[in-house]
């Protein structure tokens, strides 16, 4: 019985599997190197950001705000986040900035909580037409009981 997933088969050696994973990861960037991705929630990051994400920081917890974390050993996060906050406040001439949103859904929940109250109506593009999944009844819109 053959169990094929993509171009990988379970009979391959561990090293071969690892090489297949690395090649698939490298291939995934081809669209953005040679084309135009049209998914609004996807992002192209700079080489500097790629280095930071590839560092030890990417797999560690840093919940809370700079200087008020729930975990020890977050001084590096505090430094990085404080600089990001200062830059955002400067660029947007804002008295406050939070740079922690990690996804389109989290960002949409924050905006809906700030701007809408239960029962309010919003207009959103359907997911079939390219809208974000959080705009659906089962997403952030539903969590806020919006129409």
Residue-by-residue DSSP string for the chain: ----BTTB-TTS-HHHHHHHHHHHHHHHTHHHHHS----TT-----HHHHHHHTSGGGGS---EETTEESSSS-HHHHHHHHHHHHHHHHHTT-S-------SHHHHHHHHHHHH--TT-------GGGT--GGGSTTTHHHHTT--
What integer best gives the mean pLDDT of the chain? 82
Mean pLDDT, residues 107-135 taken together: 82
Q: Which two tokens stand for residue 96?
A: 């406050």
Mean pLDDT, residues 49-57 taken together: 88
In terms of pTM, does the model score above 0.75?
Answer: no
Q: Please check the confidence at residue 69 and state whether its pLDDT lies above 80.
A: yes
Looking at residue 1, what is its pLDDT? Answer: 45
What percent of the chain lies above the pLDDT cut of 70?
87
């Amino acid at each position: 019985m053959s169990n094929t997933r993509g171009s990988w088969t379970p009979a391959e050696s561990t090293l071969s599997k690892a090489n297949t994973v690395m090649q698939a990861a490298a291939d995934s960037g081809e669209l953005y190197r040679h084309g135009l991705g049209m998914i609004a929630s996807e992002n192209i990051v700079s080489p500097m950001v790629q280095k930071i994400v590839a560092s030890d920081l990417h797999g560690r917890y840093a919940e809370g705000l700079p200087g008020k974390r729930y975990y020890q050993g977050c001084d590096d996060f505090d430094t990085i986040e404080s600089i990001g906050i200062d830059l955002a406040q400067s660029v947007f001439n804002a008295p406050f900035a939070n740079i922690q949103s990690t996804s389109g859904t989290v960002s949409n929940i924050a905006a809906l909580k700030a701007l809408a109250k239960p029962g309010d109506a919003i207009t959103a593009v359907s997911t079939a037409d390219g809208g974000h999944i959080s705009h659906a009844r089962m997403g952030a819109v539903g969590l806020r009981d919006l129409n």
